[in-house]
Amino acid sequence: MTEQVAIAIRELTFSQAINEAIRLEMRRDPNVIVMGEDIAGAAGRAHLGMVDAWGGTLRATRGLITEFGAQRVLDTPISEMGFVGAAVGAAMTGLRPIVEIMFVDLIGCCFDQLLNQASKMHYMTGGQVAVPMVLRLPYGTRGSNLQNYGGGAGAQHSQTLYSLLAHIPGLKVVVPSTAYQAKGLMISAVRDGGPVVVMEHKFLGSAAKGNVPEDSYTIPIGQAEIVRTGHDITLCAIGRMTHLCLEVASELAADGISAEVIDVLTLAPLDEATILDSVKRTHRLVVVDEDTPTASMARDIAARVAEKAFDWLDAPIKIVTAPETPVPFAAVLEKLYVPTSAQVRCAARELVA
């Protein structure tokens, strides 16, 4: 008789899944540490008994200092150059730092540490030095589909800059879109032998709830996921845009159009094979990316498909992205900035027609 093993599954938010992944890895490996601004509660609030009241931008580190203490959960000064550089050095000595930067927009303050140090140290030392660190970067803006979740962070705190990081050889870049993916990819990132960037959409933090197993599990880095099968057109999405494409796919189905939806998940290394195989079945492609179009992941994916699957295409590739402009502060303009379901639906119908 086969023994049945029950796996406890509960509904968690995206941020709770990240928190659980970090907590499990800190329990498993004493070399895992966490660094960042306000990740344990600002020192100025400590005397009010509010040490755990903050927990970082997405509240994903809340409660960690209570369990692991200030030696492993390090509230840093407001100096991205300093604490990211310290994390690179710590990783080189055998620790596994998880670093949170409040907004991806602030990578300009520590870009040299990523561009010239973390990403290249293993290569420059002939494989003698590893840099096993994770960089957590909240990104994105509200758009019209999440109007009840705040926004209005302005042009310097609302960008989608993962293409900058995916461009750098030596960095791995993952972009989960669900709570289940967030936990599995975070655990994989912590256990990876090199620097991994985990992009977390600010407005998935509390909005993206899903079933997540209690036990530890991993999701392979470098592998896309087909989240809906179809045969008329492929919708290739990144991060929060996956939810948008699933919504559009349901609408298209009502019109008799069968859309396949791919969640890219990893931008570097990109899973070309899954995307190409899908296009060879559907013969049409729309890439949906919250970033601006120039030098974007949308254009990169479109170029790869045009190069390697041109003979299978029955229509031009279309991309749906944000406009070539800074993110507006005004709510009425911010709602128009992010790709909408109407734009994706229109692009898909044009190709199928």
Distance CA(206)–CA(329), nearest Å, equals 22
Q: Where are the beta strands (DSSP E) in 38-117?
A: 73-75, 96-100
Choosing from 122, 157, 201, 243, the catalytic residue is 157
Distance CA(196)–CA(201), nearest Å, equals 16
Q: Treating both helix axes as pointing N-terminal to C-terminal, what angle do 14-28 and 179-191 enclose, rounded to 10 degrees?
A: 30
Distance CA(198)–CA(184), nearest Å, equals 11
Tell me which DSSP letter residue 114 carries.
I
Distance CA(183)–CA(181), nearest Å, equals 5
- Asked if 327 and 158 count as a contact pair (C-beta separation under 8 A), the reply is yes
- Asked if 99 and 79 count as a contact pair (C-beta separation under 8 A), the reply is no
Distance CA(241)–CA(303), nearest Å, equals 20
- Asked if 202 and 139 count as a contact pair (C-beta separation under 8 A), the reply is yes
Nearest to 184 by CA among 204, 214, 154: 214
Whether 283 is catalytic is no
Q: Treating both helix axes as pointing N-terminal to C-terminal, what angle do 241-254 and 341-352 enclose, rounded to 10 degrees?
A: 50
Give CA separation, 89 vs 20, 209, 322, 324, in Å.
Answer: 26, 36, 37, 37
Distance CA(278)–CA(229), nearest Å, equals 9
Cis peptide before 293 (omega within 30 of 0): no
Distance CA(3)–CA(85), nearest Å, equals 50
- Asked if 301 and 275 count as a contact pair (C-beta separation under 8 A), the reply is yes
Q: Which two tokens stand for residue 163?
A: 């293409």
Task: Specify the 3-state DSSP secondary structure of 151.
Answer: coil
Q: Which residues are catalytic?
A: 157
